[in-house]
Amino acid sequence: MIVGVPHEIKQDEYRVAILPVGVEEFVRRGHHVLVESGAGLGSGLPDHEYLQQGAEMVSSGADVYARADSRQKRKAFEKAYVDLNPNVDKTKHWEKDGNLLSWLKSLNN
Interval 4-60: pLDDT, tens: 999 888 788 889 999 999 999 999 999 999 999 999 999 999 999 999 999 999 999
* Position with higher pLDDT, 36 vs 107: 36
Residue 109 inside a domain? The answer is: no
* Res 106: pLDDT: 46
Q: pLDDT-derived band of residue 89, with 50, 70 and 90 as boundaries? A: low
Residue 39 inside a domain? The answer is: yes
Residue 79 has pLDDT above 60, yes or no: no
Residue 67 inside a domain? The answer is: yes
Query: Rg of the chain over CA atoms, in angstroms?
Result: 13
Please indicate, yes or no, whether the overall pTM of this predicted structure exceeds 0.95: no
Q: pLDDT-derived band of residue 104, with 50, 70 and 90 as boundaries? A: very low
Alpha helices (H) along the chain = 20-28, 47-52, 61-67, 79-84
CATH of the domain at 51: 3.40.50.720
Structural domains in the chain (count): 1
Residue 107 inside a domain? The answer is: no
Residue 70 inside a domain? The answer is: yes
Residue 108 inside a domain? The answer is: no
- Its domain, for residue 22, covers 2-102
Q: Which of 11, 12, 14 is nearest to 45 (CA)?
A: 14
CA distance 64 to 66: 6
Residue 86 has pLDDT above 50, yes or no: yes
